[in-house]
Structure 1
Amino acid sequence: MANYSIKDLEHLSGIKAHTLRIWEQRYEIINPKRTDTNIRFYDQDDLKLVLNVSLLKDNGYKISKIAKMSKEEMTEIVWMVSEKLSSHTDQIHALTLSMIDMDEQRFEKIIASNAMKLGFERTMLNVIYPFLSKIGIMWMTDSINPAQEHFMSHLIRQKLIVAIDSLYTQITDASKKYMLFLPDGELHEISLLFANLLIRSRNNRTIYLGQSMPFHDLNVAYELYKPDYLLTIVTSRDAAISPQDYLNKLSEKYPESTILVSGSQVIGEDLDLNDNIVQINNPNQLIDYVEENTVEVIPN
């Protein structure tokens, strides 16, 4: 189980360390443990408690009242609040709790209620994507274990596949063709699946090659499909080829196509991109680019 400093709790919950200390001293809401060398730390149960308290406080509950709640009472009230959440920050808090508890039922309720109000695309943009950024921070700080991250990623992946399968599109011979893939060795495909949804929902053709596509196999698919655009996401630091060399290779091999690239090994990096490469920094930028280049479908 992960251990946290008070600064970790502040970073993950959004509650200032000074406030946490006041809660600790005045209300005894949390009680730090100590190492053999007398260094204070908090565990995953403390993180969950702080997230619950933050959620209730943000929804009008006074800290003095929260401090008197039993664990069972707090859990019940958090469930009730989670079903009525309105702000995106609250939704992200609730998703974080569902991940920590590996609670699929809570996840389903949160996503379903948001999709009804916002639609699935806006739910992805406003709730799930910021939540994924938070998962990334928690992963880098060892605040979650691989099982929790895999649990949540799998649920989101399932939702994206269902949303893509249920799309109604108006494809014509003039529709642009996109080929989507991850480089050899890249396995995290949630962003690629979401890109597929965004592109297809705007009446474009896509062929989805998915994870870890070797360059030789990409060549075969390219010759068969002849796409107008290639889209890839580079996040791995352990690839056999550098991002710069990989993008140069794509650009030189497929000069007749526009190559859309994103990912942590591209965004913010000092890369020299060839003329047929377009850097995409976020999903909203992808939406704008795709809409600018989509051929309008005229109903019969």
Structure 2
Amino acid sequence: MNYSISDLEQLSGVQSHTIRIWEQRYNALKPTRTDGNTRLYDDIQLVRLLNIVSLNQSGLKISKICSLSDQDVDLLLEKEIQPASNPTKYDYYVTQLIKFGLAYDETSFETLLSSCIGKSGILETYKNIIYPILVRLGLMWRKDNICPAQEHFLSNIIRRKIYTAIDFLTLKQTTATKTWMLFLPEDEEHDVGLLFAQYILKASGHKVIYLGAKVPLDSVKRVIDDVKIDNVLFFMVKLRPLKTAQTYIDNLQEICGKIDIHLAGNMQTINQITTSSNIKKFNSLEEFENNIKDTSK
């Protein structure tokens, strides 16, 4: 697979300008060129960049890293990989996990991710490692940087970890006074964020009715007709015309009535939508956690 320098910027977290400087000064990468003189990078060059970034994040100078053989780089990386507990190391793990994921290296990806969860817990790992991975890969914002196979490969491993964490929770019946319904619209399928919201809610003692991805509004209405729902949570991540998004919100508000609705996703669109007072928008995990605390009062 070929990548542009902007793809490398997105996947590595390093600005294109810096990547060019590393190429010119340290011979870090060797891109090919199109007839129009545009840089193109293959999988080998991408992995090399991710390795360089990882070692730089661990404290080594770029000049030193670029002078090392690939074998020496691999040895240093193995030495650096320990379960994440130091916040300054989070970027290192993000970069390495992206490398393993793009290479379909399930064993390395799952082993390192499990180590991070075991050391830091699922909540801190999601905030500081999993979420940044999803953002860089475009899985949260749909920039289509990677091929669908890589996307499904990574998402499925992460889903398994979140499902496992959910399975370990026991619902605290004495505090389960609120019922949340979670779903994605019928044109949305990336449910990792929604799954983690389920984990947070259950860990906080709430009852959750999880409908998952691609849910028609008719199904949402049926649940509301059959069960007392206190809060609805859904994400609108895909880019869509403002008129289409507004129509969807209007229809959902009509179905939900006075039920509190919690909404996140593509804020570029969401912030332009006209909503009633019972819709609460949130931009971050911290805001969502605060919303949960407010609804528990």
User: TM-score range, shorter-chain basis?
Assistant: 0.7 to 0.9
The AA in structure 1 aligned to 2:78 is W
8 Å CA contact 1:267, 1:279 repeated in 2:
no
Cα deviation, 1:258-292, whole Å, max 9, x if unaligned, reads: 11111116765311111221112222111111122
**1:52-67 counterparts in 2 under 5 A?**
52-67=51-66
8 Å CA contact 1:248, 1:274 repeated in 2:
no
The AA in structure 1 aligned to 2:251 is K
Greater C-alpha Rg = 1
Q: Is residue 147 of structure 2 the alignment partner of residue 115 of structure 1?
A: no
Cα distance between partner residues in 2 of 1:110 and 1:79: 11
Alpha-carbon distance change, 266 to 162 in structure 1, aligned in 2, over 3 angstroms: farther
Cα distance between partner residues in 2 of 1:230 and 1:15: 37
The AA in structure 1 aligned to 2:100 is S
Alpha-carbon distance change, 192 to 279 in structure 1, aligned in 2, over 3 angstroms: same
Q: Name the SS for the 1:242 alignment partner.
A: helix
Cα shift at 1:64: 4.4
Q: Name the SS for the 2:56 alignment partner.
A: helix
Over the aligned positions, Cα root-mean-square deviation in angstroms equals 2.7
Q: Name the count of aligned residue pairs.
A: 294
**1:38-117 counterparts in 2 under 5 A?**
38-83=37-82, 86=86, 87-117=89-119
Cα shift at 1:17: 4.8
TM-score normalised per structure 1: 0.87
Aligned to 1:2: 2
Cα deviation, 1:37-78, whole Å, max 9, x if unaligned, reads: 444432232121111012112223344443343323322322
**1:11-30 counterparts in 2 under 5 A?**
11-15=10-14, 17=16, 19-30=18-29
8 Å CA contact 1:169, 1:201 repeated in 2:
yes
Cα deviation, 1:79-102, whole Å, max 9, x if unaligned, reads: 332236542111111111112211
**1:181-220 counterparts in 2 under 5 A?**
181-220=183-222
TM-score normalised per structure 2: 0.87
**Aligned counterpart in structure 2 of residue 179 of structure 1, from 178, 181, 188:** 181
Q: Name the SS for the 2:169 alignment partner.
A: coil
Cα shift at 1:256: 3.1
8 Å CA contact 2:101, 2:150 repeated in 1:
yes
Aligned to 1:298: none
Cα distance between partner residues in 2 of 1:284 and 1:88: 18
Q: Is residue 294 of structure 2 the alignment partner of residue 292 of structure 1?
A: yes
Alpha-carbon distance change, 280 to 104 in structure 1, aligned in 2, over 3 angstroms: same
The AA in structure 1 aligned to 2:165 is A
Cα distance between partner residues in 2 of 1:93 and 1:175: 41
How many percent of aligned residue pairs carry the same amino acid?
34
Give ranges in structure 1 of 5+ residues lacking alignment.
Answer: 296-300
Cα shift at 1:12: 3.8
